[in-house]
C-alpha cells in the first residue's frame, strides 16, 4: 500500500510568548521552536504502522521553507521512505485553498492508495486542507478519524463526534483521511535514527514544477487574506494570587475555606 | 429576495444547539444585508425539526430522503449543490463541528465558493465578507477578508453566539423540496454510532475537580497530581493531550470531545485554555488556574490566576490543605 502523508512544520506556541509583528498581520517567529504539527505526527505514525503490517511505501510531503527539512527528517527517521518539500517565495500567504492546490499539483502525479493528513494545523490552520485536497483529487475523505481498519478496497473509519460519541463509516479507497490526536501513540525517534535519515534525499520542488501559475498560489490564489491580528479580549478578569509558593498555597486554602470547599 | 442559508445540524433525533446559535447570528446578518434568513434541513422524517426552525427563520427548506437519515458529507454535498444552484444564497452558515468540518471545505472546493472556518465573528463590510477566528490555540485572534464572490461558506464555532428566539416567532414558510439524490452514495457509507465505553468515574458528578494538562510534562508526575486531588477531596480530570497520551482514561477528559463539567471548584494545572477545553469547564463555580505563562488563555476564563510553575505550588498546596483539615478536626 502506497501512502502519502501531508505534514506541516509549525511553531510550538503553547508556552511561548507571542508577539504580533510590525505588519500587524503575523506573529513574530523569532525564537519560536518548530516541530511537526501535532496532528500530522499521528498521521505519520498511522502510515508507518500500516506499512509495517502490510508493506508498501510512505511518502511525506510538505510545503515550507528550508527549516521544514527537520520535520521531514523526523518523518524519514520514523519510517517514511521518501520526502518531498514544495517551496517557493510565491507560496507565502497561501490559505488552506491555495495550500491544497499546491499539494494537489504534485500528488495527482503520484501513485497512492491512501493519503493521510492531520485534522488541523495547530498554528494558523483552518481545518480545511484535507477535504479540499480530496475534492480536487476526486477521492472520498473522512476527517476527525479516531480509528482506522483497512480491508480490500475500503477503509472502516471511526470519526469522533462531540461529547465522546463516534460514528463508524466506510469509505472506498483510495481515500484521504484527516486524523485526530490520540489515534495511536507516535513512537519516539532516537538521535541515531535521525542521523541515519540525514542520508536520505529530500526532493525539492518549486512553483515551476507544479504547473500552477503565480496567481493560483499565495495570497492571490487564496480565499482569505489576513487583515489584522490582535490579542483576544479577556472574557473575565482573573484576580491574581501572588507571593511565594507557600503564600500562594495559603491564599488558595483561605479561598477554599471561605467557600466551604475544605 | 436573496437568501442566507443556515444549515441545521441534527443527530439521533435532536436538533443541535449550534443550529439556534447560527440562526441568531444569521438573523442579524440577514437584517443588515437585506437577505432572507433560511434554515436548511436535510434528513429523513424531520418535519418536526422544520417546524421548530420555522420559529427562527423566515423560510425553511426541507429536503427529506431516506439516504439523508444519518449525516453523510457526500450526500449533503450533492443536495446542497442543487440548492445553491437554485437559490444562489449570499452565505451558507454551518457549524464548525464534526459535521461542518467534514462537509464545508469539500463543498466549497466542489463549487469554488470561498470558505472561512471556525468563525467567532463575521460581518459584511462594504459588500465584502470579513471573518474573525483564532490562531495559535486561542492566543491570537485574526480578522480576515474573504475574496469577493456571489456566495460564501462559513463554519461557525460552537457556543459563540447565544441563541435567542425571535418574538414574535418568525413563523417562516416551510418549503418542501424534492431530494435531488438519485442513487446511494457508494464511496462513503454510514455504518453505526459507537458509544463511548462506560466510564468508571463520572467527572460530571464531582463537586471538586483538579484538571491537569500538558504542563504536568511527564507521566511520572501523575501520582503527585492524584495525591493533591485526593487531599482536596477532588476527582482528577484532564485536558485532551493527557488522554491522547494514555495517562488518564477517556472518561476524565473535559471539553468539547469529552465532558462538560460544572463543579464547585475547578483547579486547572498546566492547562493552556484552548477553546475546546474551556467549553467544557467555563461554567464551574470557582476556577483557579495555575500556569507559568501569564498570557495563557485560561486566565481570561479563570476567577483566580496563579502565574507560577505548577510544580512549585502543588506540594505547598497539598501541605496547607492537610494543615487546614487537621485544624478543623
Ligand atoms: C476537534 C477537537 C476537539 C478537541 N477536544 C478537546 C477536549 O475535549 N478537551 C481538551 O482539553 N482539548 C480538546 N482539544 C484540544 C485543544 O485544542 C488543545 O490542544 C488542548 O486542550 C491543549 O491541552 P493543554 O492545555 O493541556 O496543553 P497545551 O496547550 O500544550 O498547554 C500546556 C500549558 O501548560 C503550561 N505549562 C507548562 N509547564 C508548566 C509548568 N511547569 N507550570 C505551570 N504551567 C505550565 C503552558 O504554559 C501551557 O499553557 C480538541 C481539539 C480539536 C481539534
Ligand atoms: N504547508 C503544508 N504542507 C503540507 N501539508 C499541510 C500544510 N498545511 C496543512 N497541511 C495538511 O493539512 C492538514 C490540515 O491543515 P489546515 O487545514 O491548515 O488546518 C494538516 O494537518 C496537514 O496534514
State the Cα–Cα distance between residues B299 and B309, nearest whole angstrom: 15
DSSP B300: G
φ, ψ of residue B108 in degrees (nearest 5): -60, -45
Q: Does A19 touch chain B (CB under 8 A)?
A: no
Q: Flag whether pLDDT at B126 surpasses 90.
A: no
Is cis: bond before B273, omega within 30 of 0?
Answer: no
Instruction: Verify whether ligand 2 is closer than 6 Å to residue A68 (CB atom).
Output: no
What pLDDT sits at residue B272? 97
Q: Does A208 touch chain B (CB under 8 A)?
A: no
| Beta strands per DSSP E along chain B | 3-7, 10-11, 14-15, 36-43, 59-64, 91-95, 115-119, 121-125, 128-135, 140-146, 152-156, 173-177, 188-194, 208-212, 235-238, 265-269, 287-291, 304-307
Low-confidence stretches of chain A (pLDDT < 70) are none
What pLDDT sits at residue A196? 84
Residues 6+ apart with CB under 8 A from B87: B3, B5, B38, B61
State the Cα–Cα distance between residues B141 and B299, nearest whole angstrom: 16
> Is the CB of A172 less than 8 angstroms away from the CB of B245?
no
Mutate to test the pocket of ligand 2, among A62, A80, A117 (most ligand atoms within 8 A of CB): A117
φ, ψ of residue B144 in degrees (nearest 5): -120, 155
φ, ψ of residue A250 in degrees (nearest 5): -65, -40
Helix H, strand E, coil C: the string for A87-151 is CCHHHCCCCHHHHHHHHHHHHCCCCCCEEEEECCCCCCCCCCHHHHHHHHHCCCEEEEEEEEEEE
Domain of A41, in residue numbers: 2-216
Residues of chain B with Cβ-Cβ distance to A185 below 8 Å are 245-246
Ligand at minimal distance from the CA of A129 is: 2
Nearest-atom number in ligand 1 for the CA of B272 is: 49
Residues of chain B with Cβ-Cβ distance to A135 below 8 Å are 105-106, 109-110
Choose from A10, A167, A250 for mutation: most chain B CBs within 10 A: A167
* pLDDT mean across residues, chain B: 97
One domain for residues B260 and B131: no
Contact B267, B285 (CB under 8 A): no
Domain at B145, CATH number: 3.40.50.620
Domain at B309, CATH number: 3.40.50.1220
One domain for residues B129 and B88: yes
B167 pLDDT tier (thresholds 50, 70, 90): very high
What pLDDT sits at residue A235? 80
Beta strand A154-160 with A166-172 is antiparallel
Calculated CA dihedral for residues B116, B118, B120, B125, nearest 10 degrees = 0
User: Residue A195: helix, strand or coil by DSSP?
Assistant: helix
Report residue B231 as a C-alpha cell: 487531599
Does residue B119 belong to any structural domain of this protein? yes
Give the CA distances from residue A160 to residues A139, B218, B221, B255, in Å, rounded to whole numbers and listed in that order. Answer: 21, 26, 29, 13
One domain for residues B123 and B84: yes
B197 pLDDT tier (thresholds 50, 70, 90): confident
> Is the CB of B240 less than 8 angstroms away from the CB of A224?
no
B182 pLDDT tier (thresholds 50, 70, 90): very high
> Is the CB of A168 less than 8 angstroms away from the CB of B299?
no
Residue B248 Cα, ligand 1 centroid: separation in angstroms? 14
Instruction: Verify whether ligand 1 is closer than 6 Å to residue B241 (CB atom).
Output: yes
> Is the CB of B140 less than 8 angstroms away from the CB of A100?
no
Instruction: Give the ipTM.
Output: 0.96
Chain A's closest residue to B149, CA to CA, is A223
One domain for residues B162 and B305: no
Does residue A159 belong to any structural domain of this protein? yes
One domain for residues B139 and B209: no
Q: What angle do CA B240, B190, B181 make, to 5 degrees?
A: 130
What pLDDT sits at residue B200? 82
- Residue keyed to cell 535514527: A193
Residue A64: how many other CB atoms lie within 10 Å: 18
Domain at A111, CATH number: 3.40.50.620
At which of B107, B141, B176 does a domain end?
Answer: B176
Give me the percent of chain B exceeding a pLDDT of 70. Answer: 100
What pLDDT sits at residue B289? 98
Q: Summarize the confidence of residues B143-151 as an average pLDDT.
A: 97
Report residue A226 as a C-alpha cell: 489576513
State the Cα–Cα distance between residues B152 and B112, nearest whole angstrom: 10
Domain of B216, in residue numbers: 203-328
Give me the percent of chain B exceeding a pLDDT of 90. Answer: 96
- Residue keyed to cell 500538558: B214
What pLDDT sits at residue B124? 97
For the entire predicted model, the pTM comes to 0.97
Does residue B17 belong to any structural domain of this protein? yes
What pLDDT sits at residue A162? 94
Ligand at minimal distance from the CA of B215 is: 1
For the stretch B226-278, pLDDT in tens is: 999 999 999 999 999 999 999 999 999 999 999 999 999 999 999 999 999 99
One domain for residues B324 and B218: yes
Does residue A235 belong to any structural domain of this protein? no
Does residue A257 belong to any structural domain of this protein? no
Give the CA distances from residue A151 to residues A3, A131, B81, B126, B150, in Å, rounded to whole numbers and listed in that order. Answer: 15, 22, 31, 52, 42
Give the CA distances from residue B26 to residues A192, B156, B329, in Å, rounded to whole numbers and listed in that order. Answer: 56, 11, 58
B198 pLDDT tier (thresholds 50, 70, 90): confident
One domain for residues B75 and B146: yes
For the stretch B11-67, pLDDT in tens is: 999 999 999 999 999 999 999 999 999 999 999 999 999 999 999 999 999 999 999
Does residue A238 belong to any structural domain of this protein? no
Backbone region of residue B263 per phi and psi (left: phi > 0; alpha: psi in -120 to 50; beta: other values): beta
B212 pLDDT tier (thresholds 50, 70, 90): very high
Residues of chain B with Cβ-Cβ distance to A35 below 8 Å are none
Report residue B75 as a C-alpha cell: 450526500
Give the number of domains in chain A: 1
For the stretch B69-113, pLDDT in tens is: 999 999 999 999 999 999 999 999 999 999 999 999 999 999 999
What pLDDT sits at residue B221? 98
Amino acid at each position: 500500500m502506497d501512502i502519502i502523508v501531508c505534514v506541516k512544520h509549525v511553531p510550538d506556541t503553547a508556552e511561548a510568548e507571542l508577539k504580533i509583528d510590525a505588519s500587524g498581520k503575523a506573529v513574530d517567529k523569532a525564537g519560536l521552536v518548530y516541530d511537526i504539527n501535532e496532528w500530522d505526527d499521528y498521521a505519520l505514525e498511522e502510515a508507518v504502522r500500516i506499512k509495517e503490517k502490510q508493506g508498501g511505501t510512505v511518502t511525506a510531503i510538505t510545503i515550507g521553507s528550508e527549516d521544514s527539512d527537520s520535520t521531514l527528517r523526523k518523518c524519514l527517521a520514523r519510517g517514511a521512505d521518501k520526502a518531498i518539500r514544495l517551496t517557493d517565495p510565491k507560496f507565502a500567504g497561501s490559505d488552506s485553498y491555495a495550500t491544497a492546490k499546491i499539494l494537489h499539483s504534485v500528488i495527482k502525479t503520484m501513485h497512492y492508495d491512501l493519503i493521510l493528513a492531520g485534522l488541523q494545523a495547530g498554528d494558523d490552520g483552518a481545518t480545511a486542507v484535507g477535504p479540499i485536497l480530496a475534492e480536487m483529487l476526486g477521492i472520498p475523505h473522512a476527517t476527525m478519524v479516531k480509528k482506522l481498519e483497512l480491508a480490500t478496497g475500503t477503509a472502516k473509519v471511526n470519526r469522533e463526534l462531540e461529547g465522546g460519541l463516534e460514528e463508524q463509516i466506510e469509505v472506498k479507497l483510495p481515500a484521504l483521511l484527516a486524523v485526530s490526536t490520540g489515534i495511536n501513540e507516535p513512537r519516539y525517534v532516537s538521535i541515531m535514527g535521525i542521523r541515519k535519515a540525514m542520508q536520505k534525499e529530500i526532493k525539492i520542488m518549486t512553483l515551476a514544477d507544479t504547473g500552477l501559475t503565480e496567481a493560483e498560489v499565495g495570497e492571490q490564489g487564496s480565499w482569505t487574506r489576513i487583515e489584522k491580528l490582535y490579542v483576544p479580549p479577556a472574557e473575565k478578569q482573573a484576580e491574581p494570587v501572588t507571593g511565594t509558593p507557600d503564600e500562594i498555597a495559603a491564599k488558595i486554602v483561605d479561598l477554599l475555606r471561605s467557600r466551604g470547599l475544605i | 429576495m436573496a437568501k442566507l442559508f443556515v444549515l441545521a445540524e441534527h443527530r439521533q433525533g435532536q436538533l443541535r444547539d449550534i443550529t439556534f446559535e447560527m440562526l441568531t447570528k444569521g438573523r442579524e446578518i440577514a437584517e443588515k444585508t437585506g437577505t432572507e434568513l433560511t434554515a436548511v434541513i436535510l434528513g429523513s422524517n424531520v418535519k418536526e425539526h422544520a417546524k421548530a426552525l420555522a420559529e427562527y427563520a423566515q423560510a425553511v427548506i426541507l429536503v427529506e430522503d431516506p439516504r439523508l437519515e444519518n449525516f453523510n458529507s457526500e450526500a449533503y454535498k450533492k443536495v446542497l449543490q442543487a440548492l445553491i444552484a437554485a437559490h444562489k444564497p449570499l452565505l451558507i452558515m454551518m457549524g464548525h463541528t464534526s459535521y461542518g468540518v467534514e462537509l464545508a471545505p469539500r463543498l466549497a472546493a466542489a463549487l469554488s465558493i470561498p470558505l472561512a472556518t471556525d468563525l467567532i465573528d463575521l460581518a459584511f463590510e462594504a459588500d465584502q465578507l470579513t471573518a474573525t477566528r483564532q490562531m495559535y490555540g486561542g492566543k491570537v485572534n485574526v480578522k480576515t477578508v474573504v475574496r469577493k464572490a456571489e456566495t460564501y461558506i462559513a463554519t461557525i464555532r460552537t457556543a459563540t453566539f447565544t441563541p435567542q428566539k425571535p418574538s414574535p416567532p418568525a413563523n417562516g414558510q416551510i418549503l418542501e423540496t424534492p431530494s435531488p439524490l438519485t442513487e446511494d452514495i457508494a464511496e462513503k457509507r454510514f455504518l453505526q454510532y459507537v458509544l463511548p465505553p462506560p466510564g468508571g468515574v463520572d467527572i460530571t458528578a464531582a463537586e471538586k475537580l483538579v484538571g491537569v494538562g500538558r504542563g504536568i510534562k511527564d507521566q511520572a508526575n501523575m501520582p503527585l497530581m492524584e495525591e493533591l486531588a485526593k487531599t482536596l477531596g477532588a476527582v482528577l480530570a484532564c485536558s485532551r493531550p493527557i488522554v491522547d497520551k494514555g495517562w488518564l482514561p477517556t472518561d476524565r477528559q473535559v471539553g468539547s470531545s469529552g465532558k462538560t463539567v460544572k463543579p464547585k471548584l475547578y483547579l486547572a494545572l498546566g492547562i493552556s485554555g484552548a477553546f475546546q477545553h474551556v467549553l467544557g469547564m467555563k461554567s464551574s463555580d470557582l476556577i483557579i488556574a495555575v500556569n507559568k505563562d501569564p498570557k495563557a488563555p485560561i486566565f481570561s476564563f479563570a476567577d483566580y490566576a496563579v502565574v507560577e510553575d505548577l510544580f512549585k505550588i502543588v506540594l505547598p498546596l497539598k501541605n496547607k490543605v492537610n494543615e487546614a483539615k487537621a485544624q478543623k478536626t
